[in-house]
Structure 1
Amino acid sequence: MSVELNHTIVHSRDKKVSADFVGHILGLEVGAQWGPFIPIEAANGVTLDFMDSTDIKPQHYAFLVSDEEFDQIFARIKAAGIPYWADPGHSIPCEINRHYGGRGVYFDDPDGHAFEAITTPYA
């Protein structure tokens, strides 16, 4: 059996608010609460399991998306007035990147986690 990432826990001040935010922006369905978690499942079966926490250390979550999905995600970011950047250090605001012939954008969730949508994997 090959090793695959199955899930990761996303610490949030309010798991429902955070899961709804991320699900909306990425265009993913928010699952039913399971134990202390609210999951969002990506197309490859990996889930982000949002959990309430008072100890939040911002993390980075990157998603490989199609060009069409990128257009939809980027449109939702702009429509919601969410700040976005072309880089993980937030030094190039209001722009996207075009690394490796694709497109990429960074935005933060309500808890300060950095989310990234890219159309081409980085080499």
Structure 2
Amino acid sequence: MSVSFNHTIIAAKDRAESARFFRELLELPQAPSWGIFTNIQLTDGVLLQFAEPPVEIQMQHYAFLIDDDLFDRAYRRLCEQHVEHWADPHMRRPGEINHEHGGRGVYFKDPSGHAIELITRPYL
């Protein structure tokens, strides 16, 4: 059997808010949710499950490879919603995008404080 990524649980301060943020930003349909999880499903079938843990949330980094058209729309939504963003992971180039690896990229934080990266070309 080959190996593929199936799902991950993302800690959220408000699981419904986090799921909505990603659904709207990445233009994803609602997915069935159950129990303590509010879910979204990426186009390749990977399930992101948002849950509210009873502990302090530690920042994680999540990168999404998206096409150029979705990047344009998502970046426009970030700007319209005044989401602080950077061209670099060290947050030294605010309000910019980068043009690394033959594509474009942007970094920002989601509603729970996780570091999110949108890129249009893979690093490898």
Return 5+ residue gaps in structure 1 as ranges: none
How far residue 29 of structure 1 moved from its aligned partner, in angstroms, is 2.2
For 1:80-123, what per-residue CA distance to the aligned partner results, in whole angstroms no more than 9, with x for missing partners? 11011111121211010101110001111111101111110012
- The one-letter amino acid of 1:111's match is S
Distance in 1 between residues matched to 2:48 and 2:56, nearest whole Å: 17
Normalization by structure 2: what TM-score? Answer: 0.93
- The one-letter amino acid of 1:105's match is V
Between the aligned residues of both structures, percent identity stands at 46
Correspondence list, 1:1-123, <5 A: 1-53=1-53, 54-123=55-124
Normalization by structure 1: what TM-score? Answer: 0.94
How far residue 42 of structure 1 moved from its aligned partner, in angstroms, is 0.9
Distance in 1 between residues matched to 2:59 and 2:89, nearest whole Å: 12
The aligned length equals: 123
Distance in 2 between residues matched to 1:12 and 1:58, nearest whole Å: 10
Distance in 1 between residues matched to 2:2 and 2:89, nearest whole Å: 30
For 1:37-67, what per-residue CA distance to the aligned partner results, in whole angstroms no more than 9, with x for missing partners? 1111111111110001233111111111111
Return 5+ residue gaps in structure 2 as ranges: none
- Aligned-residue CA RMSD in angstroms? 1.1
How far residue 24 of structure 1 moved from its aligned partner, in angstroms, is 1.2
